[in-house]
Amino acid sequence: MVLVFVPYLAAAVFVAAVVIRWVKIARLPVHLRWELYPVAHERNSAYGGSFFERLDWWKHHPPTSRMGELKVMVPEMLLLTGVHEHDRALWFRSYPFHLGLYLLAGFIGLLLAGAIAQTFGARIEAGWLPTTTTVVGVAGLVLLAAGSLGLLLRRLASPALRAHSAAADFANLIFFFTAAVLGLVTFATVDRDFASLRLFVRALVTFQPAGEMPALVAIEIVVVSALAAYIPLTHMSHFFTKWFMYHDVRWNDEVNQVGSKLEAAIGRQLGHKVDWSAPHIRGDGKKTWVDVATERVSDSGLRPVELDAGDGKNPPRVLSQKEIGKP
C-alpha cells in the first residue's frame, strides 16, 4: 500500500518545484537582452529585418508572429537543432538521450490509457495498445541508456567539457543510466509486457492497493519516481526554463516607453546598491547604479581615456597621458 503513495509524492514534488522555480525566475530583474536580429517573432525576420526599419519605431508596437516563434522552438525542442548545428558530435549523443525521454513520456501516457481502459472493463491483453506500449517503452529505455552513457563518456573524454563539468553533471547522467538499465532488466526478467506496471498505474488511477508485484518492479517504481522528483531541482529543469531564455533574453525586443512597466522595472534595478569593488565601479554598498552611471571619470578615480582615430595609414590607438590635450 505504501508504494502507491511514492508516485503521488514524486508528482507533488515535481509540480511544486516547477511552479516555485517558474515564479522565482519570472520575478527576477530585467535580463540583459541579446538585441540580436532577426528575432523569430518579427514578421519581417525572414530577410533579417526588424521593427527598427521604421523611422518612428518607438511610436508603434511591432507586429509579432507566434508562428515564427513556433518554427524555431518546435524543431529546437524535438530535434535539438541548435546542438546539431554547433556540435554535431555532441548531438549524436544528446539526441538519443532526449528522444528516449520523449518516448518514455509517451510510454507513461500509454500505460495510463491502458489502465483507464481496464478500469472500465476493456480487455487489452492483445491488440495495438499493449504492443505499442511495449515497443515505445523498450525503445525509450534503450535510447535513454545509450544517450546517457554516450554523454557521460563524452564529458569524460572531452577536455573542454570535463573542465566545465561539476560532479552533479556526472551524477545526473549516472542516475539516468541506472534508471534506464533497471527498466530494461525488469522488462527482460519479470515484466515482459509491462503488465505489472499497467496494473500498478491502474491502482494509482482507482486509488486502490497495488497488490503483490515483483520486487524489481517495485524498485523500478521507486527509482523512476525519485528521478522524476529530482529533475526540476537541478539544471536539468531547462526543459521549462528555456522559455525564459528565448522570450526574455534572446527574443525580448519590447520598447522601453515612458510610463511602461519595463521603464518602472529598469528604474527599480538602477536603484539597487552596488558592492562591486572593481576600479571602474568602486562600489561601496552605498552607491546605486544610477550613481555609477552618472559619476564623472575624475570622481571615479580613473584617468580619462582618449583615442586617436588614425589617419588611414596608422590604425586607431589609445593616447598616452602625456599626449592628451596636445594639438
Average pLDDT of span 18-35: 90
Distances (CA, A) of 171 to 155, 183, 253: 12, 18, 38
Give residue 316's pLDDT: 60
Q: How far apart are CA 119 and CA 190, in angstroms?
A: 23
Lowest model confidence (mean pLDDT) among 95-99, 124-128, 251-255:
124-128
- Residue 299 in this model has a pLDDT that exceeds 60: no
Which residue would you say has higher pLDDT here, 317 or 101?
101
- Residue 309 in this model has a pLDDT that exceeds 60: no
Q: How far apart are CA 261 and CA 94, in angstroms?
A: 39
Average pLDDT of span 137-143: 98
Average pLDDT of span 271-284: 82
Share of residues in the chain with pLDDT > 70 (%):
89
- Residue 126 in this model has a pLDDT that exceeds 90: no
pLDDT tens string 30-62: 888 877 888 888 877 878 888 888 888 877 777
> pLDDT band for position 113 (50/70/90)?
very high
Class of domain 2-250: mainly alpha
pTM comes to: 0.83
- Residue 124 in this model has a pLDDT that exceeds 60: yes
What lies within 8 Å, CB to CB, of 153 at 6+ separation is none
Q: How far apart are CA 29 and CA 248, in angstroms?
A: 11
Lowest model confidence (mean pLDDT) among 117-131, 140-154, 187-201, 226-240:
117-131
Give residue 137's pLDDT: 97
- Residue 80 in this model has a pLDDT that exceeds 80: yes
Q: Which amino acid is at 174?
A: I
Share of residues in the chain with pLDDT > 90 (%):
50
- Residue 188 in this model has a pLDDT that exceeds 90: yes
Give residue 22's pLDDT: 94
> pLDDT band for position 308 (50/70/90)?
low
Domain ranges across the chain = 2-250, 271-327
Give residue 2's pLDDT: 85
Q: Which amino acid is at 82?
A: G
DSSP per residue, 107-158: HHHHHHHHHHHHHTT---SSSHHHHHHHHHHHHHHHHHHHHHHHHHHHHHH-
Give residue 106's pLDDT: 97
> pLDDT band for position 284 (50/70/90)?
confident
